[in-house]
Amino acid sequence: MTARLMNGKAVARTVRDEVAADVSTLVASGRPAPGLATVLVGDDPASEVYVRNKRRQCVEAGMADLHRHLPADITQSALKSVLDELATDPAVSGILLQLPVPKHLDTAALLARIPASKDVDGLTVANAGLLARGRVGLVPCTPGGVMRLLDEYDVALSGADAVVVGRSELVGRPMAQLLLQRDATVTQCHSRTKDLVAVCRRADVIVVAAGVPGIIGGDAVMPGATVIDVGIHRTPDGLIGDVRFDEVKSVAGLLTPVPGGVGPMTIAMLLANTVAAARALDERSVGA
């Protein structure tokens, strides 16, 4: 068997077109264009690329780009003040603090300054709590993008055995919650899992977000399963994922490539969350 590749670039394009149409409708009805505040601290080259792409795609979708680039040695309290200012700025619909931040900063305390209504990354405790209760909130972008990809490729989730490899707040934990909401039987694996290969081999759907290059090979995949690779690692030979692509391609039924799979969905879903946040803020101010 050779897996069919899931084209994240194409699906992300569709999502971005939907966002641009939604923005046009908002603006045509007299509302201000949604505004996305990206906050980048320091000069990490990968983060700079991601934020540049977020800003470009935000403008292409007709939204306002409200970027802040701050020095790597900024203090916790100065950064908190910037986030507090963005939190009360009516032009800002969504706030994104690019991660990771420099080591001297306390990420959790910084995220806590972002109001849940503007948390377009879905990383605040409030939005994580809503997700855990199966209630509507802003969903983290990468797991949200994985769900959209699974739906675009008609992957059946109700009653399916799904394995999530990884338990990060950014991907693994929200991913498991989203699959559970869709009635999958979810197993979450992590660094202490006793027999990762055996657990994965039972799965209809595997989402790998371990941050370990090539951790999942062909031996861990049931023939015909859907395999989603969230990993991105830069090597001298180019980008690779958490999945050993050539091996898994000859076993799986559907597989995301790296690059061009999950990555582009992350930014597309950020834009979708920003429009959703702008709409919700607008409805609240009308209702007030």
Ligand X SMILES: Nc1nc2c(c(=O)[nH]1)N[C@@H](CN(C=O)c1ccc(C(=O)N[C@@H](CCC(=O)O)C(=O)O)cc1)CN2
**Residue 168 marked ligand-binding:** yes
Q: How far is the CB of 160 from ligand X (least distance, A)?
A: 25
Residue nearest to ligand X (CB): 263
**Residue 206 marked ligand-binding:** no
Q: Which of 47, 46, 27, 44 is nearest to 35 (CA)?
A: 27
**Residue 232 marked ligand-binding:** yes
**Residue 263 marked ligand-binding:** no
- The counts of H helices and E strands in the chain are 10, 12
Q: How far is the CB of 198 from ligand X (least distance, A)?
A: 29
Taking the least distance from each CB to ligand X, the nearer of 90 and 238 is 238
Catalytic residue among 121, 204, 229, 242: 121
Catalytic residue among 22, 54, 118, 204: 54
Q: How far is the CB of 286 from ligand X (least distance, A)?
A: 29
**CB neighbours of 21 closer than 8 A, spacing ≥ 6?**
none
Catalytic residue among 22, 57, 98, 188: 98
Q: 95 vs 37, 81, 120, 281, CA distance in Å?
A: 5, 13, 6, 13
Site residues, ligand X (CB under 6 A) = 49-50, 96-99, 121, 141-142, 170, 232, 239, 258-260, 263-264, 266-267
Give burial (CB, 10 Å; 0-12/13-18/19+) of 144: buried
**CB neighbours of 222 closer than 8 A, spacing ≥ 6?**
201, 202, 203, 204, 251
**Residue 54 designated active-site:** yes
Residue type, 114: I
Q: Residue written as tokens 């799986």?
A: 252
DSSP calls for 121-150: T--SHHHHHHHHTT---PPPHHHHHHHHHH
Q: Residue written as tokens 């503007």?
A: 118
Q: How far is the CB of 208 from ligand X (least distance, A)?
A: 13
Taking the least distance from each CB to ligand X, the nearer of 92 and 267 is 267
Q: List the catalytic residues.
A: 54, 98, 121
The annotated binding site is made up of 166-168, 232
Please enumerate, by residue number, every residue annotated as part of a binding site for NADP(+). Answer: 166-168, 232
